[in-house]
Structure 1
Amino acid sequence: MNKITSLFNIKYPIVQGGMIWNSGYKLASAVSNAGGLGLIGAGSMYPDVLRTHIQKCKKATDKPFGVNVPMLYPNIEEIMQIIVEEGVKIVFTSAGNPKTWTSFLKEKGITVVHVVSSSKFALKAQEAGVDAVVAEGFEAGGHNGREETTTLTLIPMVREQISIPLIAAGGIATGRGMLAAMVLGADGVQVGSRFAASTESSSHSNFKQTIVALEEGGTHLTLKELAPVRLIKNKFYHDVQELYATCPTTDELKALLGRARAKRGMFEGDLEEGELEIGQIAGLIHDIKPVENIVKDMIAEFEAATNEVASLL
């Protein structure tokens, strides 16, 4: 029995990343209905909006789903209270200390998973009492670790250090990628970019089309002084690089970033001035299709690749 399917009571060990401006209830419920674990991305939602999405998700699926909570955002106490009040059973925390909320959530009977980018933080999450960790490699889109450790090396390193279930993330969009991560020691995978380019993703169609058009080398991890983020190389990205040439202060970087730039890019579709976050694997994503098809294709490819590997021996 697979540890991740057992932990979440799902059919396939596939978790959908809780991406800001992409992961509304439509995406989360579609992934859950397809046999994976859908996550609502609380990072881009005011508390009342999050409550509405949780309520709509409960109506759209009778399968398990969860909420992803980046702990660097404001209103965290209110968000956690809503999660408890609405009876959410699974919470993924990220961008913060797992000790802060894990015991509170566990006392309420909630399964807790923490996202990390290193073995050191994976151990800290295990010590904090989480049920599983997501180890996310440098290839991932959105906010990322400073270490620049790739998924290929991160997963076996984390596996060596922890005993709890391990979910691999960063650069996984195919069944072959899923198999590779599991051979390296992961019990399941978290998939972000591939689901961002789905029919049910809440992001703007301009952003989805940009993902599909992206080629190898079209993204870069930057803004490490604020919070490292992998961006598509658009006008805003080039403005950031021009500012770096002047050896800017953190305040100058913050001033350029401004407010709501990710919303402007991914949700409102401003491809020039918006912050467009996606993983390196976008170079392998060539179409926008329904979640059901994405999951079916991943599982079919995973099974075919498993048979291919067996024939190599």
Structure 2
Amino acid sequence: MNKITQLFNIKYPIVQGGMIWNSGYKLASAVSNSGGLGLIGAGSMYPDVLREHIQKCKKATSKPFGVNVPMLYPNIEEIIQIIIEEEVKIVFMSAGNPKTWTSYLKERGITVVHVVSSSKFALKAQEAGVDAVVAEGFEAGGHNGREETTTFTLIPMVKEQINIPLIAAGGIASGRGMLAAMVLGADGVQMGSRFAASFESSSHDNFKKTIVGIKEGDTQLTLKELAPVRLIKNKFYNDIQDLYSKCPTPEDLKALLGRARAKKGMFEGDLEEGELEIGQIAGLIHEIKSVKDIIDEVIQEFETATKEIQSTTF
């Protein structure tokens, strides 16, 4: 039996990333209905909006789903309370100390997973009592670890340190990528970018069309002084680079970033002034598809690649 399918009571060990401005109830329920674990992304939702999406997700699927909560969220206490009131059974936490909420949530019967970018934080998450960790490599889109450890390196290093289930993230959008992660020691995978380019994603069509046009080298990790984030190179990204040439202070960078820059790009579709977050693997995504087709293709490719490996002799 697979540890991740057992832990979440799902068919396939595939988790959908809880991406801001992409991961509403339509995407989460579609992933869950297709055999994976869907996550609602609380990071771009006001508390009342999150409650609405949880309630709609319950109606749209009878399968398990969860909520992804960035701990930097200003209304974190209210968000946690809504999750408990709405009887959400799975919570993925990121961007914060796993000790803060893990025991509180687990005492209320909630399965807790923490997203990490290093072996050190994976160990801290395990010590805090989480049920599993997501180890996310430098290839990933959105906010990222400062260490710049790639998924191919990170997964075996984390596997060596922990004994709880391990989910690989960053640079995975295919069945072959899933197999590679599992050979390296992961029990399952989390995919963000591939699901961002789905019909069910809540992001703007302009953003989805940009994703499928991405080529190798079209994204870059930047803004390390604030919170490292991988962005598509557009006008806003170029403005950041121009500012860096003048040796800016963190305050200068914050002033340029302003407010709601990610919403402007991914949700409202402003491809020039918006912050467009996507992973390096976007260079392998060539078509916007339904969630069901994505998962079916990943599983079919995984099974084909597994047979190919098994038939290899030396």
TM value normalised by structure 2: 1.00
- Cα deviations by residue, 1:110-139 (Å, 9 ceiling, x for unpaired): 000000000000000000000000000000
Q: Give the aligned residue type for 2:56.
A: K
1:296 corresponds to which residue? 296
Deviation (angstroms), 1:311: 1.1
1:251 corresponds to which residue? 251
2:30 corresponds to which residue? 30
2:191 corresponds to which residue? 191
1:6-155 paired onto structure 2 within 5 Å: 6-155=6-155
- After the TM superposition, which segments of 4 or more aligned residues of structure 1 sit over 6 Å from their partners? none
Deviation (angstroms), 1:148: 0.2
Q: Give the aligned residue type for 1:272.
A: E
Q: Give the aligned residue type for 1:81.
A: Q
Deviation (angstroms), 1:252: 0.2
Q: Give the aligned residue type for 1:33.
A: N
Seq. identity, %: 85
Distance (Å, rounded) in 1 between the aligned partners of 2:101 and 2:245: 40
1:159 corresponds to which residue? 159
- Cα deviations by residue, 1:115-171 (Å, 9 ceiling, x for unpaired): 000000000000000000000000000000000000000000000000000000000
Deviation (angstroms), 1:73: 1.3
Distance (Å, rounded) in 1 between the aligned partners of 2:73 and 2:281: 27
- Cα deviations by residue, 1:48-98 (Å, 9 ceiling, x for unpaired): 000000000000000000000000110000000000000000000000000
Distance (Å, rounded) in 2 between the aligned partners of 1:310 and 1:129: 36
Q: How many residues align?
A: 313
Distance (Å, rounded) in 2 between the aligned partners of 1:252 and 1:312: 55
2:201 corresponds to which residue? 201
Distance (Å, rounded) in 2 between the aligned partners of 1:104 and 1:195: 31
Distance (Å, rounded) in 2 between the aligned partners of 1:209 and 1:311: 38
Distance (Å, rounded) in 2 between the aligned partners of 1:312 and 1:70: 43
Query: 2:52 is paired with a residue of what secondary structure?
Result: helix
Query: 2:311 is paired with a residue of what secondary structure?
Result: helix
2:242 corresponds to which residue? 242
Q: Give the aligned residue type for 2:29.
A: S
Q: Give the aligned residue type for 2:11.
A: K
Query: 1:312 is paired with a residue of what secondary structure?
Result: coil
Distance (Å, rounded) in 1 between the aligned partners of 2:136 and 2:303: 24
2:220 corresponds to which residue? 220
Distance (Å, rounded) in 2 between the aligned partners of 1:75 and 1:265: 23
Distance (Å, rounded) in 1 between the aligned partners of 2:123 and 2:246: 38
2:273 corresponds to which residue? 273
Deviation (angstroms), 1:312: 1.1
Distance (Å, rounded) in 2 between the aligned partners of 1:289 and 1:56: 22
Distance (Å, rounded) in 1 between the aligned partners of 2:100 and 2:227: 20
Distance (Å, rounded) in 2 between the aligned partners of 1:228 and 1:59: 36
Distance (Å, rounded) in 2 between the aligned partners of 1:45 and 1:101: 19
Query: 2:79 is paired with a residue of what secondary structure?
Result: helix
Q: Give the aligned residue type for 1:298.
A: V
Query: 2:189 is paired with a residue of what secondary structure?
Result: strand
Deviation (angstroms), 1:190: 0.2
Q: Which runs of 5+ in 1 are unaligned?
A: none
Distance (Å, rounded) in 1 between the aligned partners of 2:81 and 2:194: 31
- Cα deviations by residue, 1:195-218 (Å, 9 ceiling, x for unpaired): 000000000000000000010000
Does 2:23 match 1:3?
no
Query: 1:39 is paired with a residue of what secondary structure?
Result: strand
Q: Which runs of 5+ in 2 are unaligned?
A: none
- Cα deviations by residue, 1:203-240 (Å, 9 ceiling, x for unpaired): 00000000000100000000000000000000000000
